[in-house]
Amino acid sequence: MKTAVLEKFKELFGDTDGVSVYFAPGRVNLIGEHTDYNGGHVFPCALTIGTYAAARKRTDRKLHFYSMNFEKLGIIESSLEDLTPSAEAGWTNYPKGVIWAFAGRGMAMDCGLDIVISGNIPNGSGLSSSASLEVLTGYLLRDQYGFDVTNIDLAQIGQYSENHFNGMNCGIMDQFASAMGRKDHAIFLDTADLSYEYAPLKLQGAKIIVTNSNVKHSLVNSAYNERRSECEKALEELRTVIDIHGLGDMSEEQFEAHKSAIRSEIRQKRAKHAVYENRRTIRAVEALKADNIGLFGELMNASHVSLRDDYEVSCDEIDILVEEAWKIDGVIGSRITGGGFGGCTVSIVSDGAVDRFRTEVGAAYRRRTGKTADFYVVEIGDGPAKL
């Protein structure tokens, strides 16, 4: 990948003198979905797949973007005077949003950039290609311009730009996982205060398999923002009867005692998911620490049921992938991962069942949907880097 982006950079911009190459990973979330904007816990890990960039400063204020994943679009030109979101800007709204967010923090670039991007995260898969691109942009800006920011700052800037530049009201999880990844560890993150710990993923005799439904989603145009507003309204109603900062503050018992304050059955279901999913995530990490991988898998399965029934962010294709996974001996747990409405499932599968999992789930998915699923045995990697 490094060689490929350098060769493309030379082809487009003449040479590679002074060019640097950077990487930021995608992520998969093992459990704790739609809890990050509700003040709850999440448990993601960075992947070894992600987004690469070759970048070099210019002597003027122009910005030149090129993606090897969208070659037909050619070089997209902008400038430091044109940091506004637009439909015409397409994928470049993500790096432009980060540049805009840096400038808003008093870190304005004094000259433009030529950037060539290439990623090996399947587009629309729910493995956070957008967060990876945001963290990558922030990381290379820090290196190229000497900005004084930490990796946690990069995560927060990426989230801020996606919220306020791209109009996607996401939580912090995706950017945090990309910015703070550690090889062979997942991140147990409390999104209420950004306290976190690294938990070794000791999956002796098992693999993490991500299954791509190849059903594309665009969260900006989906019900994602609607779910967040439903939870915010439910929180507002609950605060009339209990002193809480976020839904993540509540136990299941507290929720059941006070849920009648939520004056909508739909909002009750959304809030129930946020509360119960947060508690599942805490218990899942405790189970992992106790080497109880069986309980971890049971909690993953319960997470999917909640996302399907209470939060309603799954879809037929994803449900079929999970149902077929649950039928196979050696599947420890399987659930939807990511924002939903398509994308991927994440499964923990015993080594001896991996081949059968791919064969049988793939065949059943084709038979029931007419679509083809892709399977990735993923490795857990580090955060962003200059290569």
Residue 220 confidence (pLDDT): 43
Strand partners, 115: 55, 65
Q: Which sequence spans correspond to the domains of the chain? A: 2-200, 206-377
Q: Which fold has domain 2-200?
A: Ribosomal Protein S5; domain 2 (3.30.230)
Task: Write down the CATH number for the domain with range 206-377.
Answer: 3.30.70.890
In the sheet that holds 385-386, the strands lie side by side as: 76-79, 62-67, 113-119, 44-57, 20-29, 385-386
Cα(13)–Cα(56) distance, integer angstroms: 10
Whether the per-residue pLDDT at 269 is higher than 50: the answer is: yes
Which residues fall within 8 angstroms of residue 57, CB to CB, at 6 or more apart? 18, 111, 112, 113, 144
| 281-326 residue pLDDT tens | 999 999 999 999 999 999 999 999 999 999 999 999 999 999 999 9
pTM of the model: 0.90
Residue 204 confidence (pLDDT): 81
Residue 348 confidence (pLDDT): 96
The residues annotated with a catalytic role in the active site are 174
| 59-108 residue pLDDT tens | 999 999 999 999 999 999 999 999 999 988 999 999 999 999 999 999 99
Whether the per-residue pLDDT at 178 is higher than 50: the answer is: yes
Structure tokens at 134: 């945001």
- pLDDT confidence tier of residue 49, bands split at 50, 70 and 90: very high
Whether the per-residue pLDDT at 180 is higher than 70: the answer is: yes
Tell the residue number behind the tokens 């000259």, with chain if given: 111
Whether the per-residue pLDDT at 342 is higher than 70: the answer is: yes
- pLDDT confidence tier of residue 221, bands split at 50, 70 and 90: low
Whether the per-residue pLDDT at 219 is higher than 70: the answer is: no
| 232-246 residue pLDDT tens | 999 999 999 999 999
Residue 343 confidence (pLDDT): 87
pLDDT, average across residues 181-206: 92
